[in-house]
Every structure is written in structure tokens, then in C-alpha cells.
Amino acid sequence: MVKEGYWIGIPLLVGGVLGMLLGSHGVPIVLFSLAAFTFYFFRDPERSIPAGPGDIVSPADGRVVVVTPEEWEGRPGQRVSIFLAIWDVHVNRAPAAGRITKVTYQPGRFYVAARARASQENEQNIICLATAAGEIVFKQIAGWIARRVVCWKEAGDRVQRGERIGLIRFGSRMDLWLPKGAQILVKPGQHVAGGSSVLAHWPVVNPGAAKASGSRLERGSEFAASGEPVRK
């Protein structure tokens, strides 16, 4: 369980115990029930991370609601949107190994996360990840119930495929943008598991160049959308 669960669950348990000591019956039952739900919601199970070259894993648990062509900053690609129901695991994971180049918090509305306009208008964290194959983008999007998105990483951090990167509270949405050339393997309606379900296959086209890019990435170079370092 993630630490946020303790911050919420333990006070509820303490309140329930105090209610019992004061002779109350209904209030402790409610508080204990809320504590049990909190501990369940903030669970953080271990996952088996696929090791296939070019595998892009799901950044979140939930149901695929959209697979659609979409441009990102003028570049053609595809977006996969995942809706997280309140009973899904809400810990988010990196879809691929690489270096986070940017984390942008965007304030916004709180439409129901399953609605299409939530991708653009809801409160969200936009995370850009430079990988050996190029740049991908994923978004933690708050929903009607989930009104807080938490990212535990910042620009410059190196992440591994399937590594925990953040949390969205109580029902939400995760969007993943992949450039043209990535093979999407999921369809709307499928349920996926964060860190273990393979959403797409995006192999490195030039392994030699990717190896060189990887070594430069380790030294902290900035990467452009192509995955090549920006020359300054």
C-alpha cells in the first residue's frame, strides 16, 4: 500500500476507536468501513514487467476507452485512453524505460473521466518521456471524483519500464500518446493492468543509434522528439 493510504486510513481507524470508547455504535461502523475501503483503494500490488524489446506497457490499471489517431505538437501518432474505475489500482507506472524530460501540471475542470473532453480540459499532469526509440507522452488526468493527481518523479529522472511514477485518487483517466510507427495492440473495452499489460509494440528502428542514444541519455543529455540529443 502507498503511504497516502496510511495518512487517510489511520485517522479513520483512530476516530472509530474513539467513537467506540465514547459509547457510539453507528459512527465507528462508518469510520471502520471507510478505513477498510481506503486501505483497499491505496493497495500497490507487485507486477510482472514484460521484458520484450519494444514493449510499451500500460501506465495504469483500467479499461481502454479510446484508441484514436492524434497529433502531439504537430507530430502524427495515436492516443490510448484508459479509464480507472474506483475499484482499480490507482498507482501509475512508466510505460517504457527512459528519461523524463518534462512534467507539466495543467489545472482544469473535473469532468467525468470517461468523457472525451476530459483528456484536454481536466486537471492533469503531462509527462514527456525520452526513450531509445523516441519520445512518448502520458497524462495523469483527474476525474469527477479524483481531484488530485500526484507525480513522484520530476524532469531529469531516469525510470525503468513498469516503475511506479505516481498516483491518481478515486477514479480517473490515463492517456498515452505514441508516435506514428508504434503498433497498438489493444482495443476499446479491454481491461489492462499497469506495468504488466502490453499496450503497444514500438521497436527501435536503428539498434546501433539507439545504443549510442542510450549512453548519452545516461549522461543526462536532452532529447528531441526523435530520441536524438539536442545539440546546443
Tell me the catalytic residues: 172
Rounded Cα distance, 203 and 195, in Å: 18
How many C-beta atoms surround the C-beta of residue 7 within 10 A? 11
Contact 149, 166 (CB under 8 A): yes
Rounded Cα distance, 63 and 194, in Å: 11
Nearest Cα neighbor of 96 from 189, 227, 221, 191 is 227
Contact 181, 225 (CB under 8 A): no
